[in-house]
Structure 1
Amino acid sequence: MSTLGSDTVTTSEVATELEMDKTGIYIVSHKPLDSDTGLRKRDDAVSYDNPGFNSDSGLKLKNEHNYDRPTGFSDTPYRGMGKEDLLRHSSKPLWRRLRYVCMSIILLGWLALIITVVALVLIYPRCRAPRQHEWWQKTVVYRIYVRSFQDSNGDGVGDIKGITQRLDYLSELGVGTISLSPVFETVPNADTEFDVTNHKAIASEYGTLADFESLLNETHSRGMQLLLDFIPNLTSDQHVWFQESRNPSSPKKNFYVWQKDKPNNWLSVYGDSAWANDSSRGEYYLHQLRVDQPDLNLRSSEVKDELQAILQFWLEKGVDGFYIRGSGYLFEDYDLRDEMPSSANLTQNPNDYDYLNHTYTYGLREINDMLARWRYFLDEFGNKTNKYRMLFADIMGATELTMSYYGYFNRDGVDFPLNRFCLDLKQGDDGNVVSGVVSRWMDNLPAGRWANWMGGDENSNRIAGRLGGNMTRAFLMLSMLLPGTPFYYYGDEIGMVNSDLAPGNAWERQQPMRAPMRWDNSTYGGFPSNCTVGCTTWMTVNDFTGQNAVEIQKTSKSSLMHLFKNLTKLRGQASFEYGDYFRSVVDSSVMSFVREYDGEKGFLVAINFGSGTETRKYTDTHDTIPESADVELTTENGVKLQVGGTAQCASLELGPYQGVVLSWEYVAKEL
């Protein structure tokens, strides 16, 4: 310890204190003083004897705290150096260049990092936002022939209340949209639902308008939608419009197509001339279907207004859309020119409908304009009510005509024309035939439009009879998992087949595909409510030989109904709802495809439409298919692939008519 004013300093001390002129400045050294070095006090300076100092020159204090640098001070920087010396050393070229190099490295590193991040953002595959689909694109449409679905009052005729009673069943089935056959008021004891006398009223045999409103409310409460048929091309000859039109002085005189004389050779769908004489008016009217079903004149602005009013009426009730029936007959040639014989049917009776080519009576371009008008009207209504209204139609003809229904000359048409090409499939058709039906639609689908896949309706033979049990299961998987909306007929989910009734005239109600729904295996199939003995049903209940009814299939995990439910559930996966579609292996037996979407699980759907076991390699057909994948679902016709297990995609074995869905987790694509 040093005492101020003393001539000596203890060499064992680490620090030395010095009071100079009471300035409060202390100099502290981190190095010990030599043992023989003392502190000398001079008149105006103090010097330190230290290995780093010149003892003769020392550290001089001049002019009030102004220090001169020691003359013997080393040029090498070291810890504890003063600010001025540190600045002097840091200004040397070596250190200055070193700083520039370090700063350049840092700046270049940051620049490289920014460039890399930008490049990754631009180049790396980005996850797309999911497509925004409307409710009708996500749903399964279930077509009901009202007369045969469920009889609620025991009169032997299916009705609206009966459908209401079965809504929970449809909801459990996974059905999202119900399409009803015509329920409008008709001529008493009419043979067909097309003998409409009032488009704004419900036929009494089906119930009341209040019954319909109740059905609509109950359907919506379950998150389901309800569609009505729209019949714009004809009415019954008992309709008030036709009765007034028979008077040539009536404001409705042009509501139908009238001619003073039979103008041409046009034929009715049911044979013989399409022109019938009306004794009251003394002129001929056009009927492309039955003679008691005159064609409306859609070139009349008054008729268009009346038809739009019908749409308005049901839209205001809350209906979710319409199925336009008989759309191909909406217009006929303005000049009423004769039709030419069809080269393919020259051997037929000249009075048969198929003898002529019908270029002037079916599928005219004016139809596209009418469809666009109705589409616009529904869109306007949907904008006001904040809900999209669906519109689809039936059409028979070539692919070009069918696809034109989506829209023509940049004008929207229907949401889809029904895909009746599916109804041409039959038992024994192989993978190439099935793939051809799929490609015919997908390859010709206009950009931005939506496909659909039909199982059947009230005018076609039932799918289980056309394809057979195992092929039906295979087609069910195909139609449910392709991009598009499946369209199935009541009873298809339990494999109902045509009844034994011989097909009659096409306009008659009793057709073999319209037998009452078999809810159980009782005598009357549970179709009439509260009836076990002595029931009278409008049509004989199908024996349904070799098949099970609804109540039986509910309990069987191997049933067609169970598969139907599983498929409607699987459709809810993002990759099926809005994912991409890629064809995979397609040959004489197998039809397969991939459904996937960025960031979502991928799926391979592989279906064997052959009668023998088939093994195929899938790993080379699409870049995301892995070596092995999880078994998500099968049609349960095979024994080697079990749900919950794994399958080898490089050698996937499929049993006869077996379909399988394999899945894998999403893996980001490499740069």
Structure 2
Amino acid sequence: MQDWKRSTIYQIYPKSFRSARGGSTGDLAGVIEKLDYLQWLGVDYLWLTPIYVSPQRDNGYDVADYHAIDPRYGSMADFERLVAEAGARGLKIMMDIVVNHTSTDHAWFQAARQSRDNPYRDYYLWRDAPNNWQSKFGGPAWQYDERTGQYYLHLFDVSQADLNWENPAMRRDIHAMMRFWLDKGVAGFRLDVINLISKPPDFPEDDSDGRRFYTDGPRIHDHLQEMHREVFAGRDVLTVGEMSSTSLAHCIRYSHPDERELSMTFNFHHLKVDYPGGEKWVAVPYDFVALKRILSEWQEGMHLGCGWNAIFWCNHDQPRVVSRFGDDGRYRVQSAKLLATVLHGLQGTPYVYQGEEIGMANPGFGHIEQYRDVETLNAWRRLVTAGVPAETAMAAIRQKSRDNARTPMQWDAGAHGGFSSAEPWIGLAPDWCEVNVAAQRSDPDSVLHHYRHLIGLRKAYPVLVEGAYRCLSLDDPRIWAYLRQSSDALLLVVGNFSAETVRYTVPAGTVPDGATELLSANYPSPPPLAAQIPLRPYEAVMWHCRLSAG
């Protein structure tokens, strides 16, 4: 079995992680400074969001030079030291690869816009007239270039020009770039919106925004199989693809070992259960039953199809989960532990986003001036222009903004939460004096210690890696109960997602008679495993049972 199947991956957003140099943004020296902490936590891989040279229109996902470290974060020598220091602690580094698009500041694009017959022109997608596709950040997906009299495609910000994956020279340059980082000692790649790279050559349109034509596009599997042959084959490298608006069938193919494409996939369907009618920028409660149904479908489908899930609640683009699906007030500690327990019991490789392990919450900023994210600012302008009342628009921003995840990591109760000696690039969440690593590391009953315990369980109990999943409470409005079962063991996880005390009735015959072991609980004196289990608000319990050979 591959090590990454029993591993846990920790995502670092370097801009907000730690500044050892006393800057407004984080740096690689700050990551190095915290390696002992990450080793103690028990994670195995460290995924760094982009640290390449970038104008930072989209916080580094607009890459201007794939082969250089942005001076904001340090130097190539700093990066090489990070790889070495991490390796000495048994930690592996994953890079974020952004190859659907580049920054318009990239040398390829600067050459491409010099003339129509430049060899780099065909590295990008150009048309004499735009179609009706829309950018995921709002507005048309085509931008007119006056110098050459054509439009270029940008599915994201206008400064992020989409690459032409039908060009073999461009693909060879991308493959060489990825080998460059592997030769530096990188052990894995997270591939940004990778399922969007293949566009139909005729750029069709209908009455939609265009995404159905380029999502899991016509040659996506060919491109990923070629990437595997040219970059991954023969190397011990973990690869995870971020799959925008994808399907279960495609993700089985992307991650099936026989397809030779990727190790695992991210999908985001479960994180749209608070998008009424598919609309993100509305403040609404989430649909708990839909959350269970979607995750259960993917748990069962990927396992049966021999695919592999990347399982996660949080990342740099998502609100904090304790605010989203838990209770960040009275029951912050209990609900943070509940969410951790339920997630880490699932099939797949768990991802922990910086601050999730201490239960960091959304900052609740009240003024648009406090936000930095380009998508958030575009959404605000669009909502206000459409006549949405300012407070209604701000409620949606507070709930959904990507900046919810980007406030500085809360290390201690000192100045700026221990992030830096300087004023951070974005404000801190207001609870940083109480919710921080230092306070929780000294408290054995903290959210932090609960995460550390769950991370250790995956290495000790094979059923967490191998076991099939079965949901026991699909339509229950408050309880999520599920089984994981392998040939010789069974795991039962039960969680109460409400602020009320609830009694859960275990279906008869679910757990065989015999000794069971309590693996995890988020309250003192957890209830025993019985026909009926009383669960306190946001209580979660995990039990393990060995199965007899007969």
Distance of 2:245 and 2:342 partners within structure 1: 24
Identity %: 26
Matches within 5 A, 1:212-231: 212-231=79-98
- 1:517 and 2:409 matched: yes
Q: 569-578 vs 300-309, which deviates more? A: 569-578
Matches within 5 A, 1:424-443: 424=272, 432-443=289-300
- The answer as to whether partners of 1:405 and 1:416 remain within 8 angstroms in 2 is no
Cα distance, 1:489 vs structure 2: 1.1
Supply the AA of the counterpart residue of 2:315: D
- 1:614 and 2:467 matched: no
C-alpha change, 1:618 and 1:204, in structure 2 (3 Å) is: same
Cα distance, 1:245 vs structure 2: 1.6
Match of 1:341 among 185, 201, 207: 207
Match of 1:162 among 30, 34, 46: 30
Match of 1:257 among 121, 125, 135: 125
C-alpha change, 1:275 and 1:595, in structure 2 (3 Å) is: closer
- 1:319 and 2:206 matched: no
Cα distance, 1:214 vs structure 2: 0.9
SS in 2 for 1:524: helix
Match of 2:418 among 526, 536, 542: 526
Cα distance, 1:628 vs structure 2: 5.7
Match of 1:448 among 306, 315, 322: 306
Cα distance, 1:263 vs structure 2: 4.1
User: Deviations for 1:272-312, whole angstroms, at most 9, x for unmatched residues?
Assistant: 33222323323322222222222111111110101001111
SS in 2 for 1:406: helix
Match of 1:605 among 493, 498, 514: 493
- The answer as to whether partners of 1:375 and 1:391 remain within 8 angstroms in 2 is no
- 1:544 and 2:431 matched: yes
SS in 2 for 1:374: helix
Normalising by the residue count of structure 1, what TM-score does the alignment of the two structures yield? 0.70
Distance of 1:256 and 1:454 partners within structure 2: 33
Q: Show the counterpart of 2:4.
A: 136
Cα distance, 1:536 vs structure 2: 2.2
Cα distance, 1:147 vs structure 2: 0.4
User: Deviations for 1:504-539, whole angstroms, at most 9, x for unmatched residues?
Assistant: 5317798232011110112310001xx3xxx32212
C-alpha change, 1:455 and 1:408, in structure 2 (3 Å) is: closer
Q: Show the counterpart of 2:242.
A: 394
SS in 1 for 2:324: helix
- The answer as to whether partners of 1:629 and 1:649 remain within 8 angstroms in 2 is no
Supply the AA of the counterpart residue of 1:341: D
Q: Show the counterpart of 1:372.
A: 225
Q: Show the counterpart of 1:239.
A: 106
Structure ranking higher in helix proportion: 2
What RMSD in Å do the two structures reach over aligned CA positions?
2.7
Larger RCO (alpha carbons 8 Å, 6+ apart): 2
- 1:472 and 2:320 matched: no
- Structure label with greater radius of gyration: 1
SS in 2 for 1:572: helix
C-alpha change, 1:627 and 1:210, in structure 2 (3 Å) is: same
- The answer as to whether partners of 2:104 and 2:110 remain within 8 angstroms in 1 is yes
Cα distance, 1:664 vs structure 2: 4.0
- The answer as to whether partners of 2:471 and 2:483 remain within 8 angstroms in 1 is yes
Q: Show the counterpart of 1:292.
A: 159
Supply the AA of the counterpart residue of 2:481: S
Q: 471-480 vs 624-633, which deviates more? A: 624-633
- The answer as to whether partners of 1:482 and 1:576 remain within 8 angstroms in 2 is no
Distance of 2:5 and 2:20 partners within structure 1: 32
C-alpha change, 1:191 and 1:572, in structure 2 (3 Å) is: closer
- 1:656 and 2:537 matched: yes
User: Deviations for 1:460-498, whole angstroms, at most 9, x for unmatched residues?
Assistant: 111111022333322210111222111221100111112
- The answer as to whether partners of 1:434 and 1:591 remain within 8 angstroms in 2 is no
- 1:281 and 2:144 matched: no
Distance of 1:357 and 1:284 partners within structure 2: 16
Matches within 5 A, 1:1-400: 132=1, 134-187=2-55, 190=57, 192-246=59-113, 247-259=115-127, 261-337=128-204, 339-342=205-208, 356-382=209-235, 388-400=236-248
User: Deviations for 1:431-466, whole angstroms, at most 9, x for unmatched residues?
Assistant: 744431321202321522212221211111111110
Which runs of 5 or more structure 1 residues have no equivalent in the other structure?
1-131, 343-355, 383-387, 642-646
- The answer as to whether partners of 1:425 and 1:466 remain within 8 angstroms in 2 is no
- 1:415 and 2:263 matched: yes
User: Deviations for 1:203-225, whole angstroms, at most 9, x for unmatched residues?
Assistant: 00101111111111111222122
C-alpha change, 1:596 and 1:184, in structure 2 (3 Å) is: same
Q: Show the counterpart of 1:506.
A: 375
Q: 206-215 vs 370-379, which deviates more? A: 370-379
- The answer as to whether partners of 1:627 and 1:650 remain within 8 angstroms in 2 is no
Which runs of 5 or more structure 2 residues have no equivalent in the other structure?
275-283, 378-400
- The answer as to whether partners of 1:157 and 1:537 remain within 8 angstroms in 2 is yes
SS in 1 for 2:47: strand
User: Deviations for 1:31-90, whole angstroms, at most 9, x for unmatched residues?
Assistant: xxxxxxxxxxxxxxxxxxxxxxxxxxxxxxxxxxxxxxxxxxxxxxxxxxxxxxxxxxxx
Cα distance, 1:429 vs structure 2: 6.0
Cα distance, 1:580 vs structure 2: 2.3
Distance of 1:542 and 1:652 partners within structure 2: 36
C-alpha change, 1:664 and 1:400, in structure 2 (3 Å) is: closer
User: Deviations for 1:62-121, whole angstroms, at most 9, x for unmatched residues?
Assistant: xxxxxxxxxxxxxxxxxxxxxxxxxxxxxxxxxxxxxxxxxxxxxxxxxxxxxxxxxxxx
User: Deviations for 1:388-418, whole angstroms, at most 9, x for unmatched residues?
Assistant: 2111111222534652552699633322221
Distance of 1:341 and 1:495 partners within structure 2: 42
SS in 2 for 1:518: coil
Normalising by the residue count of structure 2, what TM-score does the alignment of the two structures yield? 0.84
Distance of 1:137 and 1:264 partners within structure 2: 43
Q: 419-428 vs 287-296, which deviates more? A: 419-428
Cα distance, 1:428 vs structure 2: 7.0
- The answer as to whether partners of 1:185 and 1:197 remain within 8 angstroms in 2 is yes
- The answer as to whether partners of 1:423 and 1:454 remain within 8 angstroms in 2 is no
Distance of 1:336 and 1:164 partners within structure 2: 45
Supply the AA of the counterpart residue of 1:271: G
SS in 2 for 1:571: helix
C-alpha change, 1:585 and 1:524, in structure 2 (3 Å) is: same
- The answer as to whether partners of 1:574 and 1:597 remain within 8 angstroms in 2 is no
Distance of 2:180 and 2:60 partners within structure 1: 19
C-alpha change, 1:653 and 1:500, in structure 2 (3 Å) is: closer
